[in-house]
Structure 1
Amino acid sequence: MNIIKETRLGVKTYGKAIHPTKDAILVLSFGTTYEHTKKVTIDSIVQDIQHRYADTKVVLAFSSRIIVKRLRQKGINILSPEEALDQLQAEGYTRVVMVSLDIIPGIEYTYKMALLEAYKQAFTQITLSTPLLYWMGQSACRDDVKLFVEALESQFLSYSDKTAILLMAHGTNHPANAYYAVVQAKLDELTTRPVFIYSVEGWPELQDIIPKLVKLKITDIVLMPMMLVAGDHAHNDMAGEHEGSHLHLLKAAGFTVHTYMHGLGENAAIRKLFVENTVEAVKHGGEI
């Protein structure tokens, strides 16, 4: 095994396509039980990818076992990634491109890399795209963070320049949590309005941001999910009616608070970035 080759960054591909091929694209999301946000975010990305590759089979799988189980209890059959890959193999597909709908290369993306390793003998070729945020403009690499911030800015336009935008990220104990600091730096560089990232399960927390708001004498705030879907975290942690929600905590601190209940997947410019990642992954393995 060529260990140097195995550890290269970016799109990962195992194997070599042997023509003729039978091709499939597997879109991998953590998932959501909120049907409306699924339709306007995850399903919309799948449709955009299917439109780009009209003659290729495109399949969706959710990596959250809890979400898959809950959906099946409602009669909605969503495959897990392993089930989807097993099914594609059984149906005779020889080349698979896995598309990550992750925001950062954290724990979920590490799991997808493990999938690639586990199934590399099941197909003549299997490829994994990069997540939304990966490259930072180093050397000749594209700047995913800049592209993301530019796409995100369209969500700010309907608010006053004096209104602070608080972007709620998921957060993780994975080292990839550092991406949020990189995004914050790029926001500071490219935007003139006050925009701050905080996370539910990582750093920085909401309590780290409040002193900054006070120092800037900000009174008006918009809470906005920096997540693919506006699901459980958005409806409960961010905008819930309970006293511990971010909405109530900020109101109790004296701020006027508004909520933006739309996931990143509703942003057409963000969806375009996922499609471009798909195109890159497809080309990495050889055009479908």
Structure 2
Amino acid sequence: MKNWKKMLAASLAVTAMVGFAPQATEAAYSLNPEVKDATPALLEASQIGVLKHETPELQNLANKDAIVVMSFGTTFKDTREKTIDATVAEIQAAHPDVKVVTAFTSHIIIDRIAAKEGIKYPTPEEALEQLKAEGYSRVALATLDVIPGMEYAYDKGVYDNYKNEFKKMTLGTSLMYWQGQEEQADDVTETIEALKSQFPKQGKNDAILIMAHGTPQISNAFYSVIQAKIDEMGLKNVYVYTVEGWPSLETVLPKLKANGIKHITLMPMMMVAGDHANNDMAGDEPDSHKSQLEAKGFKVDAYIHGIGENQKIRDLYVQRANDAWDALEAE
């Protein structure tokens, strides 16, 4: 481990970017100044945290700034207003003189909302094309993703595909990104502390099951970090499981039985309380998580609220957006 750290230190040096958070946020890495002739591969490898790109050929353009907030989206209008719309409104309030655009990464959801509600949300690509047409030259990309998974990879793809179209572009991090390593911030613990504010009071026979999404991407391992942080914080009988990944509901069942759990509260760790929360988690069908647990003799309650309804979580998302904005404004 020590040798690995020495090798990394030879190539990378930590750069702190200070946002509107109460304390400095370690938001990005930059190459060690001793590296004079970095190859494209090394430059790519060093792009961690808040990303920043300046296009030399466009530096004569006047600054005209915008923020694009990217979210997967949801067809559930009520939860969308309480979570996505509420968070974007708070980002806008933090930057009252800046154009803030909401973009959805799910093309299916965009089409369904348009057909059902007559509202056309742009994709991130469409939002950037429109901003470019309107003469915007600098754009901060913010994300409402929970972990840096497949959806965040889409966000980074947008950044990579459009960064040369603007004078300057930045990309902020997901809600949970840094894990306290290498003197970085501990986004995971910070998020769990915020999430803890909505936990019900627990007795010795009570458990809280936090339903995450899950992903086929290697970033699915992030859920193990979240569980480890929960345990490290001393939160008893609080377990993370996923609807489309590992750990699954079956993974945590033996722990519930071993600890004598009789009552369970289910809650989603997703921005919105959409189809997964209402149907997969808390639906009346026999294969819902609630029904499966009840069939095994547990008493089950469901907290059907997206984490975007939690003010403490929204505050963290505003901080993530501020990190991207600060990087855009930095000289």
Q: How high is the TM-score relative to the length of structure 2? A: 0.84
Mapped pair 1:247 → 2:290: yes
Relative to structure 1, the CA distance from residue 18 to residue 47 in structure 2 (aligned partners, 3 Å threshold; closer, same or farther) is: farther
Separation of aligned partners in 2, 1:7 and 1:166: 36
List runs of 5+ in structure 1 lacking aligned partners: none
CA contact (8 A) 2:64 2:135 kept: yes
* Structure 2 letter corresponding to 1:247: K
CA contact (8 A) 2:104 2:121 kept: yes
Mapped pair 1:185 → 2:223: no
SS of 1:139's partner is: helix
For residue 158 of structure 1, report the CA deviation from its aligned partner.
4.3
For residue 155 of structure 1, report the CA deviation from its aligned partner.
1.0
Aligned length: 288
Mapped pair 1:5 → 2:82: no
For residue 82 of structure 1, report the CA deviation from its aligned partner.
1.1
Bigger shift: residues 204-213 or 251-260:
204-213
Mapped pair 1:59 → 2:98: no
Quote the residue 2:319 is aligned against. Answer: 276
Q: Where in structure 1 do 4 or more consecutive aligned residues deviate above 6 Å?
A: none
Quote the residue 1:176 is aligned against. Answer: 219
Separation of aligned partners in 2, 1:27 and 1:192: 32
Quote the residue 1:81 is aligned against. Answer: 124
Quote the residue 1:119 is aligned against. Answer: 162
* Structure 2 letter corresponding to 1:167: I
After superposition, the C-alpha distances for 1:162-196 in whole angstroms (9 at most, x for unaligned) are 42000000001111111111010111111333100
Mapped pair 1:27 → 2:94: no
CA contact (8 A) 2:63 2:137 kept: yes
Relative to structure 1, the CA distance from residue 162 to residue 191 in structure 2 (aligned partners, 3 Å threshold; closer, same or farther) is: farther
Quote the residue 1:214 is aligned against. Answer: 257
CA contact (8 A) 1:37 1:231 kept: yes
For residue 76 of structure 1, report the CA deviation from its aligned partner.
1.5
List runs of 5+ in structure 2 lacking aligned partners: 1-38
SS of 2:291's partner is: helix
RMSD value, Cα: 1.5
CA contact (8 A) 2:205 2:260 kept: no
SS of 1:99's partner is: strand
For residue 3 of structure 1, report the CA deviation from its aligned partner.
3.6
Q: 1:92 aligns with which of 117, 132, 135?
A: 135
SS of 1:227's partner is: coil
Structure number with greater Rg is: 2
Q: 1:40 aligns with which of 82, 90, 93?
A: 82
For residue 139 of structure 1, report the CA deviation from its aligned partner.
1.7
CA contact (8 A) 2:141 2:169 kept: yes
Q: 1:201 aligns with which of 228, 244, 249?
A: 244
Separation of aligned partners in 1, 2:182 and 2:60: 33
For residue 5 of structure 1, report the CA deviation from its aligned partner.
2.9
Question: How high is the sequence identity, in percent, across the aligned residues?
Answer: 48
CA contact (8 A) 2:61 2:167 kept: no
SS of 1:179's partner is: helix
Quote the residue 1:15 is aligned against. Answer: 54
SS of 2:211's partner is: strand
Quote the residue 2:31 is aligned against. Answer: none
Bigger shift: residues 2-11 or 79-88:
2-11
* Structure 2 letter corresponding to 1:51: A
Q: 2:210 aligns with which of 163, 167, 176?
A: 167
